[in-house]
């Protein structure tokens, strides 16, 4: 049947490999009035899933996993913080698999996923998403305390974006203690390998050795390269990471307008242009919402 991807918006995809269904993140429900298209389903509607992998513990990635797991019996793979939050939400430990990077998990016959440590985007450095070609400079060598103070200011800003957004944040707040440390996932399938990333950050020394056939790269916010904000644009961040990974095909995540007043509908043209400079033979594919995109077709 072949591996297919269905995009639910934000960083959430459903990966189907033969008879195995894997959700990549689980954030499906949206703020009413969000500019991006509303998914035709909510998390409560998902009735088939075997595994859920979660890149980090923020609400726009983790919220919904508890309901999908309850409805389907799926196992959630994520950080120890993700597992703590999910157990608090009522998911039994038999459906939770804590990882930190360095693990390889068998998902089905001929299908596995390897987990690697990663980094969250420098979300503390801005109060809204920048256009993909906007060059951002500075913000270097800030202490953890300084970054946390800025992050608190960001949430105050998001909370001021209207009653619908405040209510969405209230119901989706599962009280995570930070992002729980970000992870990336490398799937080995009978057709090829697929990397999944849900926030714009990486350790260069890790990603340069992974060599996936297809890479889902997050394209939102200020890129984080080896612990510091990129001195450049989001488009340059995506292209630089792709040049380290060297996939044949890149697919984006987190690049639609999912939270009014904070996110934007990212113009992918600058990303396509930078990618053509850094990795000329790499294709940038842009699947639509829930369109069953064939991951490895034509490679």
Per-residue pLDDT of the chain (299 residues; tens, 9 = 90+): 689 999 999 999 999 999 999 999 999 999 887 766 677 889 999 999 999 999 999 999 999 999 999 999 999 999 999 999 999 999 999 999 999 999 999 999 999 999 999 999 999 998 778 899 999 999 999 999 999 988 887 777 777 778 888 888 899 999 999 999 999 999 999 999 999 999 999 999 999 989 999 999 999 999 999 999 999 999 999 999 999 999 999 999 999 998 887 888 899 999 999 999 999 999 999 999 999 999 999 99
Helices (H) and strands (E) in the chain, counts: 8, 17
Q: Give SS3 for 11.
A: coil
Question: How many Cβ atoms sit within 10 Å of the Cβ of residue 94?
Answer: 8
Backbone angles phi, psi at 145, to 5 degrees: -65, -40
Q: Copy the structure tokens of residue 81.
A: 């913080």
Q: Where are the domains of the chain?
A: 3-294
CA proximity to 97, closest of 11, 18, 16, 185:
185
Distance CA 230, CA 44 (A): 38
Q: Is 66 helix (H, G, I), strand (E, B) or coil?
A: helix
Whether pTM exceeds 0.85:
yes
Name the helix (H) or strand (E) containing 112.
strand 111-117
* 3-294 CATH choice from 3.60.15.10, 3.40.50.720, 3.40.30.10, 3.40.640.10: 3.60.15.10
The residues near 175 (Cβ < 8 Å, ≥ 6 apart) are: 85, 88
Residue 8 has which token pair?
A: 């639910």
What is the reported pLDDT for 33? 73
pLDDT at res. 36: 65
Quick one: pLDDT at residue 34? 76
């Amino acid at each position: 049947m072949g591996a297919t991807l269905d995009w639910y918006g934000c960083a959430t995809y459903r990966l189907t490999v033969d008879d195995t269904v894997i959700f990549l993140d689980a954030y499906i429900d949206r703020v009413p009035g969000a500019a991006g298209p509303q998914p035709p389903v909510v998390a409560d509607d998902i009735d088939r899933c075997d595994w859920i992998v979660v890149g980090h513990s923020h609400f726009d990635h983790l919220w919904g996993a508890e309901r999908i797991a309850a409805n389907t019996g799926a196992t959630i793979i994520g950080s120890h913080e993700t597992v703590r939050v999910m157990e608090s939400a009522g998911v039994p430990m038999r459906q939770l698999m804590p990882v930190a990077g360095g693990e390889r998990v068998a998902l089905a016959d001929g299908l596995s996923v390897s987990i690697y440590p990663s980094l969250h985007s420098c979300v503390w450095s801005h109060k809204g998403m920048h256009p993909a070609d906007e060059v951002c400079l500075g913000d270097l060598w800030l202490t953890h305390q300084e970054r946390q103070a800025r992050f608190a200011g960001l949430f105050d800003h998001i909370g001021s974006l209207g009653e619908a957004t405040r209510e969405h944040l209230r119901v989706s707040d599962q009280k995570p203690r930070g992002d729980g440390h970000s992870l990336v996932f490398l799937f080995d399938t009978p057709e090829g390998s697929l990397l999944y990333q849900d926030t714009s950050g990486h350790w260069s020394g890790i990603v340069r050795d992974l060599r996936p056939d297809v890479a889902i790269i997050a394209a939102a916010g200020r890129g984080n390269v080896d612990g510091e904000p990129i001195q450049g644009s989001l488009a340059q961040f995506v292209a630089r990471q792709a040049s380290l990974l060297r996939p044949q095909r890149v697919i984006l995540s987190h690049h639609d307008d999912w939270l009014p007043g904070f996110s934007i509908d990212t113009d992918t043209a600058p990303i396509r242009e930078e990618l053509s400079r850094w990795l000329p033979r790499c294709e940038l594919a842009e699947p639509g919402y829930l369109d069953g995109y064939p991951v490895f077709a034509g490679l």
